[in-house]
Each structure stands twice: as structure tokens, then as C-alpha cells.
Structure 1
Amino acid sequence: MFDWDDLRHFVALADTGSLSAAARRLRVEHATVARRVAALEAAAGVKLVDRRSGRYVLTAEGRRVADHARRIESEALALERALLSRQSDFAAEVSISAPPQIAVSLITPRLAELKQAHPQLRLRLLGESRTVSLPRREADIAIRLTRPSDTTLIARKAGVMAYSLYASKEYIASKAEKDFEFIAFDESLDESPHQLWLKKHAGERPIVFRSNDLAILAAAAQAHMGVAVLPSFVAESGNLQRIETEDRFLKRDVWITYHQDMRDNPAIATTAAFLAGCFRQDRSAADKRTLIVLEQGC
């Protein structure tokens, strides 16, 4: 008899191709994934993966097992969501995935309000830049800056995040605009809207510093390293100065998403409504360079 946890770890490895990626998806140590897959191979009595230079390639038998295991996983997760959707109380844990700076600056400061209104509710707030799988319940609710294409997800627009070019006052005072240097995300985000917007404004001027973390970019701008494109709420909390451009702002939609099977779960619905409130600001405030322009509520 196969152990379901062994199958679940094998599916993650089959989907991602590496122990580290599978471990990130399952939020376990990579050694746990390796042990679980080895246990499944021992139970099945066949080799399921070939190990090649750090990558794991499925054997023919492994591909057949993975196809069956994915169907089992899909049915198990559907059953789990169906049971959770019928829970009528708030004695549950709701996990929220959000970009780190949004989690730190916009959501965490207001969590006490939600806890006071619903003391039985338990929360797990995950600050992460990757796109989590809501059907697999890697999180219950996700804050995203692009609308998901998955038709099984409910996506509600919470507002619009405003980005601009920022630098320290000392940097702006010390250089002519033609000599500005730029701070950017690393190459993994080169096609993101805010990275493309920065490159358009930088033109032929150099990018002298890169990072995969928004907080590091803001810290580099505060350290007078150059000009960065940042959300207004991040830049203003660091006492950075906005650089005037013809188009003033880049605006990105903020979406609150969760699986449609969970729409009737009171803990999920209440948490989603709370998150919408974290983003709600009026238009006049946004014109004064605050963080979110509310165009429509959840």
C-alpha cells in the first residue's frame, strides 16, 4: 500500500524537476523530499527517477506513476476544499501569501483589528514573491499584482499600487539628471511591468545595482546608490524623494484571489474582506503620492 505523503512528495518532484524546488513548494527540507521519493520507489519496487547532475528525470515508469498520482492529488485536494467550505465557524487557520513588503507594511500593522473581531481565527501570513498554487492549498488567499488566468480562482480587484522613480535627496542634489544611475531588480524580473518602466526611463544610462528583493532596492536608494522604481508606500517610509517624470506613476492592479470552492467558508470570506480594507485609500490621498489608488472594492 502506497503512503499518500510519499506520492505527494513525488508529484512535487515530478512537477518541478529538482529537490530544492519541490521542497519550496511543500515547505519542507529537500532531504525530506528525497527520503519520501526513495520510500515510494522501495514500495513500488521500480525506479521512478534518474538523477542527472542535480536534476531528477522521470523514468517511463515514473511518468506513469506521476500521472496517476496527480489525479489522486487533485481528487484529495478537491475533497479537502469541499469539507473546508462547509465549516461554519472561525476556529481555523487561514494562510495568506503576499509580496513581502505588502505583508510587512500594509497587512501586518492591521492584524490586531482582525484578531479582535474574530479571536478564534488563526492566521499564517507568508511574505513571498513567488506565485503560489491555490488549488494545491499552498495558501488559502493570495495577494497578486497580476490577475490569475486560472478559471477556478476568484479574483477581486482591491486597488491599484502606484510606482514612481525615487532616490535620496542627497543623490538628486549631487548629480545632473543626465548622469543618474539606476537600481533595478535582477534579470529574473526583467519582463515585469515595473522593471520595463524603469528601463524606459533609464534609457542609455547605466544600471549599477541589482537585487531580487524590494526592501534591498529601497535600502540601496537610501544609501545614495542611484534611482529605483518603488511603490510609493515603500519609498516614502524611507524618506526618499520622487523624481518627476511625464507619466508620473506606473500603476499596477492589486488582486485578492482564492479558490472558488472556498467562497462560502466564513473564515476565508472574512479574511478576504479584511485584506481589501488594508488596501483601501481614497483617490485624493493617492494624488498626494500615497500608496494605493482604490478604483473598486472587493
Structure 2
Amino acid sequence: MTNWEDLRHFLAVAQAGSLSGAARTLKVDHATVSRRLAALERRLEARLVERLPRECRLTATGERVYALASEIESQAFAIDRIARGEQAQLKGEVTVSATPMTVEAILAVRLGDFRRRYPGIQLSLSAQNLFVSLTRREADIAVRMDAPGEQNNVARKLGQIPFALYSSRDYPHLDRPEAWEFIFYDAQFESVSNQQWLIQAAGTREVACRVSTTAGQQAAARAGAGVANLPCFLGDADEQLVRLPFDGEAHMPDLWLVVHSDLRRSAPVRAVMDYLVEVFAEFCEVAVDRGA
């Protein structure tokens, strides 16, 4: 019978496109991935992957094995979610994925309060701008500023986070909107709502620089690099920044709390969700939706 661990490493190679990428995903060394892949190929007596200098490509047989292995992985994740969903006690680890800004400015500073309230739950905060897959158990709960699209997830709209334009108090073009230079996200976030709003707001005006995180944009604005679009709870609290007037419609992205449907009734997951609803009520402009 095929070893599941060998299959798991093969799946990671197929998804990452390289041995090194798979190693990073699985948090193991390059040699372990190579050894597991070789063991699977020996057991199946078939070549699954073409090892090129900078990438790995699936052979025709590899493509067929990948399709079947993906189904096995999907079922394994489903079994795990069902088991987690039956948890009745308030104990265990719950992982929340959110943007670095959300983790650093809102959630991390409340870990002490959460720990005192739920001593049996280990809350794990995963700070990343890109979406994670709840189906693949990359997180149990996600807090997102763009509408969720993955199937089998249940979403609750927490409200809207007000944004505004900010610059340093000594920005040389403070009183000359036509000369404002903007701080954009880098290219990988070209499709997110904040970047799209910035593109419209800036129009033909110059892009001063690109920074991938909200904290980095805030620091760049403080340094006088240009104008940043920041959450008002951050910008208004920063004494080195000043809010700039804007005639158009302000950026007000929806904030979503997302959980896989298999986990929504898990007691520890539910406790974390309720806590997040309570926390974000302080920052959201619109009343919390209790539908999920």
C-alpha cells in the first residue's frame, strides 16, 4: 500500500512546483522531500516528476497520480474538520489568519485578555496578506477585507473599516493635492480592494513607492515619502501623521469573519469567533452581522 506521507510530500511538490518550495510548505528540509518523492516513485515503479534545475514538472503519470492524491487529501482534511467540529470542550489550538496589520494592531495586543478568558484554548495568529485555504486547514478562521469565495465556507460580515489618506505633518506638498505622491502596495496585491481604490484616487499623480504591508506604508508616510491610505484607527492615533481632505468617496472595505462549515459548531472555534466579533465591534463602522 502507498505510504500517505510519501503522497503528502509528492502533493506539496506538485503544488509548489519545486522541491525547495515543497520543503518550505511542509517545514522540512530539501533532502526529506527528495527522499520521500523517490520512495513513492520506487514503490509505484513510475516516474512522477521531471526534476529540472529550477522547477519540477509532473509527468503524464504524475498528473494522474496528483488528481487521485488530491482527492485523498481532500477527504483527509474533511475527516479532520468533522472531528474538530465535534469538540465540545473549550480547549485545543485554534488558528486565525488575518492581515499583518490586523494581527499586530488589533489581535496580538489582546492575547493576554483572551488567555485569561479562555485558558484552555491556544490561539495561533497567522499574519499574512494573501488568502489561505480553510478547506486545506491552513487556518481554522480567517479575517478578510475582501469577500470570501471558497466553497463550503460560512462568512459573517463584521462591518466596514473606515480608511483615509494620511501624510507626515511636514510633507512638502501637504496643501497641494495636485502634487501628492502616493504610497502603493506592490504588484502582488494589484487586485485587492485597497489597491484598486488607491489607483482611482491617485489618478495621474505620481506613485512615490510601493510597500507590501500597512505598517510599512504607515512608516513610509511618517518619513515623508508620500500619501498613504490607512485605516483611520491607525492614522488618527499616529501623532506624526495628519489626515488629508478627499472629495471623493472614502475607502470603506467590508470586514469578513470566515470559517469552514464543518468547524462552525466546534466549541473552541465558536468561542474564538464570538471573541473576534466582540473585538472588531470597536473598529467597524457598521453594526455587526450575526447571521453566521
Instruction: With the length of structure 2 as denominator, give the TM-score of the two structures.
Output: 0.91
Alignment of 1:1-298 (within 5 A): 1-23=1-23, 25-29=25-29, 32-171=32-171, 176-239=176-239, 240-247=241-248, 249-281=250-282, 291-298=283-290
Give the alignment's Cα RMSD to 1 decimal: 2.0
The answer as to whether partners of 1:101 and 1:234 remain within 8 angstroms in 2 is no
SS at match of 2:236: helix
Distance in 2, matches of 1:140 and 1:29, equals 26
Distance in 2, matches of 1:137 and 1:121, equals 17
Q: Deviations over 1:74-96 (max 9, x none)?
A: 11111111111112112211011
Distance in 1, matches of 2:257 and 2:28, equals 26
SS at match of 1:104: helix
Kindly state the Cα deviation for residue 120 of structure 1 after the two structures are TM-superposed: 0.9
Distance in 2, matches of 1:160 and 1:29, equals 42
- CA change 1:54–1:224 in 2 (3 A) is same
Q: Give unmatched runs, 5+ long, in structure 1.
A: 282-290
The answer as to whether partners of 1:276 and 1:297 remain within 8 angstroms in 2 is no
62-71 or 265-274: bigger deviation: 62-71
Instruction: With the length of structure 1 as denominator, give the TM-score of the two structures.
Output: 0.89
Kindly state the Cα deviation for residue 107 of structure 1 after the two structures are TM-superposed: 1.1
Q: What is the number of equivalent residue pairs in this alignment?
A: 289
Distance in 1, matches of 2:175 and 2:31, equals 51
Equivalent residue letter for 1:70: S
210-219 or 257-266: bigger deviation: 210-219
The answer as to whether partners of 1:164 and 1:248 remain within 8 angstroms in 2 is no
Q: Deviations over 1:157-203 (max 9, x none)?
A: 11211222110111056662222211111112222221122222222
Higher helix fraction (1 or 2):
1
Equivalent residue letter for 2:288: Q
Kindly state the Cα deviation for residue 255 of structure 1 after the two structures are TM-superposed: 0.7
Kindly state the Cα deviation for residue 36 of structure 1 after the two structures are TM-superposed: 3.0
- CA change 1:45–1:190 in 2 (3 A) is same
- CA change 1:202–1:16 in 2 (3 A) is same
- CA change 1:94–1:30 in 2 (3 A) is farther
Q: Deviations over 1:207-247 (max 9, x none)?
A: 12112222111111000111111122232343311111113
Equivalent residue letter for 1:277: E
Distance in 2, matches of 1:228 and 1:112, equals 31
Distance in 1, matches of 2:148 and 2:139, equals 15
Q: Give unmatched runs, 5+ long, in structure 2.
A: none
SS at match of 1:261: coil
Kindly state the Cα deviation for residue 268 of structure 1 after the two structures are TM-superposed: 0.4
Equivalent residue letter for 1:177: P
Kindly state the Cα deviation for residue 20 of structure 1 after the two structures are TM-superposed: 4.9
